[in-house]
Amino acid sequence: MQLEEKVLDTARNAGIYCNSKRQWLLKEIACIVFSESVCRRYQINGKLRPLPISLRQIRYFVSTAEQGQISQAAVDLAISQSAITTAIKELESEVGADLFVRSPQGMELTAAGRQFLFHAYDILNKVQEATSLNVPANNLEGSLTVAATYTVIGYFLPNHLEKLKRNFPKLDIQLFELNREAIEEGLLSNRYDIAVLLTSNVLNPDLTTETLMGSRRRLWVASKHHLLQRESVGLKEISQEPYIMLTVDEAAHTSLKYWSKTPYQPSVTLRTSSVEAVRSMVANGQGVAILSDMVLRPWSLEGKRIETLVPSDPIPAMDVGLAWRRNAQFTPAMEAFRSYFRQTFYIPNSR
């Protein structure tokens, strides 16, 4: 029996229902987690024995890589720092290489760590797909016009659109990228059925919004920035640094709203609509920025590390969600779209 079939057989014996999609995903996970050499190492008399690497360890590793600090990863995961430290040491022992370089500034990935992070993301994505499958509504047909903003299309929607396409293969989803004002006007004029945008920016009383998630905003700094040495960093300290201001999706307007509640102002040296420009400028030590975790990628295109700090002053989260015309009559396609996101983000199913 091949390895993938053994994984399926184990799942069935454990009482896990395996439809065709779940079988395919379990096989994919098996191929990722068990390389040929690892399979030989962890088979006894033709039977699999547990691989010492667990999903828990992988999640701890990914969180530490993203945060760059064990202390911050522990806060986000609501576990002890020692649990993360132990998990990383166990991973490094199994992999046979150091995954991080420890420094006073935090944890930096080694070359082996960056390679392992790529596979870790792949494993977690496959597991998420395998555990959140819905039976496709093959009978749902028609079209759905969806408007979305730049940030949402670039950093939130693609993965969900792929899953929606699998769940509703006969549904034609037409996507439009627009700014908030154009989206609001399009919803009110019935040009678009529904929108995915930053709900924290929507104030029109003729629209209904439903927030799916709040993405925390943090301070981005270069890997060896002097602010990393401070116990507390607030807007006062940030105002003394060159500031890279993102302008897309009303980011500058939102930023100035929370700055205006303090006696300080950012020392803006560059305004740009490009998230990648902000990332590169910060990573290369040209300034700092406050942006949400949704657009955070800890490495610039040049391979330089970005560290994050939680400002001591209150900074509102960036809320992402759905919007539609108030009192709109939901079509089956609109209902399916909204229900998918409600199930994905555990939103109560009530209007």
Residues 168 and 246 in one domain: no
Residues 302 and 260 in one domain: yes
Which of these three, 100, 131, 162, is where a domain ends?
131
Q: Is residue 351 part of a domain?
A: no
**Residue 77 is assigned to a structural domain of this protein:** yes
pLDDT of 71 strictly over 70: yes
6-20, 59-73, 106-120, 160-174: lowest mean pLDDT where? 6-20
Give the mean pLDDT of 330-341.
Answer: 94
Per-residue model confidence (pLDDT) at position 1: 43
Res 253 pLDDT > 60: yes
CA atoms of 65 and 59, how far apart (whole Å) = 10
Task: Write the CB contacts of 309 (distance below 8 Å, at least 6 apart in sequence).
Answer: 218, 219, 221, 227, 228, 233
Total domains in the chain come to 3
- Residues 223 and 188 placed together within one structural domain of the fold: no
Structural domain range at position 157: 145-214+319-344
Residue 27 resides in a domain = yes
Burial of 346 (0-12, 13-18, 19+ CB in 10 A): exposed
What's the pLDDT score for residue 29?
A: 53
| Residue 267 included in any domain | yes
Over residues 245-257, mean pLDDT = 94
Burial class (CB in 10 A: 0-12, 13-18, 19+), 31: middle
Are 165 and 274 members of one domain? Answer: no
Among 44, 47, 57, 50, smallest CA distance to 93 is for 57
| 206 and 336 share one domain | yes
Total-model pTM: 0.65
Q: Average the pLDDT over 292-316 and give the result.
A: 90
Confidence of residue 15 (pLDDT cuts 50, 70, 90): very low
pLDDT of residue 46: 47
CA distance 261 to 32: 49
Asked if the structure places residue 137 within a domain, the reply is: no
Tokens of 30: 């098996």
Does 296 have pLDDT greater than 80?
yes
Ranges 44-48, 133-137, 294-298: which has the least confidence: 44-48
Q: What is the pLDDT of residue 202?
A: 94
Q: How confident is the model at residue 36 (pLDDT cuts 50, 70, 90)?
A: very low
Percent of residues, the chain, with pLDDT higher than 90: 53
292-299 mean pLDDT? 89
Residue 190 lies in a domain: yes
Asked, for residue 7, whether it belongs to a domain, the answer is: yes
Mean pLDDT computed over 99-105: 81
* Amino acid 349: pLDDT: 60
Alpha carbon distance 48, 43 (integer Å): 5
Are residue 339 and residue 205 in the same domain, yes or no?
yes
Lowest mean pLDDT among 47-51, 207-211, 249-253: 47-51
Mean pLDDT estimate for the chain: 83
CATH label of the domain that carries residue 149: 3.40.190.10
Q: Which of 129, 177, 173 is nearest to 152 (CA)?
A: 177
Task: Say if residue 176 is in the same domain as residue 324.
Answer: yes
* For residue 191, pLDDT beyond 90: yes
Which pair of tokens denotes residue 65?
A: 């890589």
Decide if 176 is inside a domain: yes
> Do 20 and 96 fall into the same domain?
yes
pLDDT of residue 77: 76
d(Cα 139, Cα 142) in Å, to the nearest integer?
10
